[in-house]
A and B are shown apart, each in its own frame.
Chain A
């Protein structure tokens, strides 16, 4: 029993690492390698940053806390422009024709990968132990760490 806290501390280390010098995933590699994974999705700090940036860049103004509004819901099973990390990355950078603005030149590449990771955490597609477990604002939906992984269904805009 005494070993449990120790064990937890050890296994939690990687989750809590802040690797400021780690280069972001290579975009062209992400788009050509079918088994690509965004390493930031396993890092609590990156996911937490993604959550912060999601408000800071006004993503929440359209997508709320994942339920949607002016823009589509991000916490459900429906994906209009693809669910893979590099597809979410492309959606943010390029924008999409039915109203998603392009954030090219407005957001650093690392931050886009953090946002991509956070967006996928909204529907449970990142490890539970790395997903954000608290919300510093008025309680909306349950935190991402308690979000069940949703199936992925490709769909057209509403």
Chain B
């Protein structure tokens, strides 16, 4: 592991001064729906003077949604574990999930219970925090076994959400379920898709007011992407919006005002495709949703168009590979910005939106920070959809930048894969992107975004593919490999105002875990070779690590236990697209395995075996 400091020390010091100004609404957006449920807990330890007061005082010590709050900061105001004492962090307890596929979820903590959802067969465990994680109950939805065969990239699940005494999550075979958080009893389940058409569900819901917002997966199977809001009391569909097709299906009406001309027009979800191709055109919603209560807007990214072979779908392929802002009550579209029109390389736009109020050019802007697979960290005005900045955070060969006047990605046509049979080399970033689903964190104390990401490039060749329902609709041969430097992963601290990296930690394998930022100025993440790490939020210096049983692709979280102590938790259990070689026992001799990922990680079986396990740490 190597830490690289970027920029002179004087720049870093100036940045420190700016921190106080930076923070912002991120945390004001933290919904206070859940009241402090550990009244016995004492006051938090003294924090640095720049800590947002609201954040510190209102830290409930819980973790009720994977991103911690609506602004998706994955920042906790808990500071008992800090950069001084984290070196003493020790294992408090652990719990085996009994499942051996990729564990991408974040554990949730509500009151004295931890909730863990596993990959297929999507078991929900309730663990007693007053008794070292003893099993309280488990809920088994028993999803259809066949769903495993239409899940593109391992049979993962990215987590559950808690609200109003219920746990909500999605099963691989397309049910959204509501489970009573105290008894484990199923309250309702709603079927939303058809596995025989290649649909699955893997994302973590977001509960907004009285609605559970969910979306589908299956962009590699020729599905049609959608997002839907279900009534949290009974599971009835309140609204559903498709991401391809006629405006009416996409809930695009008179209030739809995209910022840039290329996203304006009638029925672009039809006219930017060859006839009928939008019906099997992808644009799924398998990533993250954020919510701004003041604007009453939800934000989410749409996935890749299908098939990957771009020659089979001339046009911009709206509304794939972009960001939608929608009215949370009605689903009505308010704006859309297409990050990657006519996607050439599977650059899904599903990554997280971190909602901040940020000083830019003398005024405070309501922005969203979106680190995209195409290689750029976008800063976008979240009221209008205007791109304010877009700076590369990895080596990029597929484009030369983003034109801030027109909002257009400046595509390097030499790397286009439109032509069938032509092998295009040195495509950077590779298809999993500069950063895939693995969510970043933001600390209001440092003003930095912590990005777990990849350093991968690839060779690719388009091949013709035909649509057969329930089978892959890809049409691309791919071989991935490490990008410049030879390391395959990076953990980057990013200054969103300056638009540049402050420090980087190179990792051998793609950093496929999420990030966690804390008021103790320790940032946590895990590696695919099985190390859970705590690093200094300010300079990236490694302060602590623990070797877990299987590689980490989960999302770290922290909470205040019933005894008042701070705990940090992570799921280990390698898998996902990056770890499919281990979870699926793939053959390392075929470089094109797992859509080309096997070539980049063919040595992973030497470092990790499978096995899902919750690890919980605390100070002695």
Contacts and interface: CB of A to CB of B under 8 A. Distances in A.
Interface residues of B, number: 42
Given A99-B150, A101-B471, A68 B584 contact: yes
- Best-surrounded residue of A70, A75, A137 (most CB of chain B within 10 A): A70
Given A61-B474, A68-B586, A70-B472, A99 B580 contact: no
Interface stretch (A10-18, A31-39, A52-60, A108-116): A52-60
B466 A56 contact: yes
Given A67-B590, A158-B584, A58 B148 contact: no
Given A58-B471, A64-B594, A138-B477, A75 B587 contact: yes
B472 A61 contact: yes
Contacts of B459: 138
Interface in A83-140: 97-101, 106, 137-138, 140
Nearest to B596: A64
Contact of A58 (B466, B593, B594, B595): B466
A71 interface: yes
B472 A106 contact: no
Contacts of A55: 463, 465
A72 B584 contact: yes
B598 A99 contact: no
B507 interface: no
Nearest to B152: A70
Contacts of A30: none
B461 interface: yes
A115 to B, nearest CB: 13
A66 interface: yes
Contacts of B477: 137-138, 140
A64 B461 CA distance: 14
A138 B590 CA distance: 12
Nearest to B472: A61
Given A99-B149, A100-B149, A69 B595 contact: yes
B591 A141 contact: yes
Given A62-B471, A138-B479, A140-B477, A67 B587 contact: yes
A70 B581 CA distance: 10
Interface residues on A, range: 20 to 34
Interface string B579-620: 010011111111111110010000000000000000000000
Nearest to B589: A141
B421 interface: yes
B586 to A, nearest CB: 4
B304 interface: no
Looking at A66, A69, A106, A158, which has the most chain B CB atoms within 10 Å of its CB?
A69
A140 B593 CA distance: 9
B145 A97 contact: yes
B388 interface: no
B54 interface: no
Interface string A4-34: 0000000000000000000000000000000
Nearest to A68: B586
List of 7 A-B pairs having minimum Cβ-Cβ separation, nearest first: A99-B149, A61-B472, A67-B590, A67-B593, A73-B587, A58-B471, A69-B594
Interface of B: 100, 145-153, 220, 421, 423, 459-461, 463, 465-466, 468, 470-474, 477, 479, 580, 583-595, 598
27 contacts: A57-B468, A58-B465, A58-B468, A61-B465, A61-B473, A65-B593, A67-B586, A68-B593, A69-B595, A69-B598, A73-B584, A73-B586, A97-B146, A98-B145, A98-B148, A98-B149, A99-B151, A101-B470, A137-B421, A137-B461, A138-B423, A138-B460, A138-B461, A138-B592, A140-B477, A140-B591, A140-B592
Given A58-B471, A62-B149, A73-B587, 10 more contacts: A55-B463, A58-B474, A61-B220, A61-B473, A62-B471, A62-B472, A67-B588, A67-B592, A73-B584, A138-B461
